Amino acid sequence: MPTGVHIRDARRQLFDAAERILLREGPAALTSRAVTAEAGCAKGVLHRHFADFDDFLAELVRERVARLEDQAAALHGTAGTGSVIANLTDALIELFDPVAVGVVGLVIFRDELRARLRQAWPGIPVLTEAAAMIAAYLTDECELGRLAADTDAGSLALALIGSGHLLFADRASGPPGFAAVEQVVSAVLADVVGRRLL
């Protein structure tokens, strides 16, 4: 693209381009040249909006984390309704969309990015926030009497996030179906769901 051509919402175009590359080729293919080529703009456009490429990637991750706020509110709203297993299954399927899985892979893949993000987040962004979201939901359900009173919400949330990530991380075979995710959620929560009935 020639220099001087105005690009509408350049940040959004660059983020969308990065997400397409992540989905198509994975984090190793994500370079500033690849992103600007995918976005159809000059390389200088990225550097006008971001200090450097890792700053761009950090903003991409922050944007993905910000999306979790809406999902956390929606999950909180399901407490006391429907099935705990189904609510969590739906939440994991929404959480681990292909872009989110790609962003987690990107954070793990790039040491400099992980170091930069560590200033704001302990742990791995997206997964850390997702674990907090699920722990809060499990606490809500425990308080409503739908899980055992001594439920360790934090540990169960970590187990669900780790299991969920493993289920969704294999890009070659595609995402698992509802039944596969539900089976894992049921296994992780079997004790606390069963004991609330005793």
Q: How far lies 76's CA from each of 50, 80, 134, 187, in Å?
A: 35, 9, 9, 22
Query: Each residue of 49-83: pLDDT tens digit?
Result: 999 999 999 999 999 999 899 999 999 999 999 99
| Residue 93 placed within a domain | yes
Does 3 score more than 60 pLDDT?
Answer: no
The CATH number linked to 114 is: 1.10.357
Domain range enclosing 102 = 66-195
Task: Note whether 28 and 72 are same-domain residues.
Answer: no
Q: What pLDDT does residue 6 have?
A: 47
The DSSP element (H or E) to which 103 belongs, if any, is: helix 98-109
pLDDT at residue 121 above 90?
A: no
Say whether both 85 and 170 belong to one domain: yes
Q: Which of 2, 14, 1 is nearest to 46 (CA)?
A: 14
Confidence tier at 122 by pLDDT (50, 70, 90) = confident
Clarify whether residues 112 and 158 are in a common domain. yes
What percent of the chain lies above the pLDDT cut of 70? 94
The model's pTM is 0.87
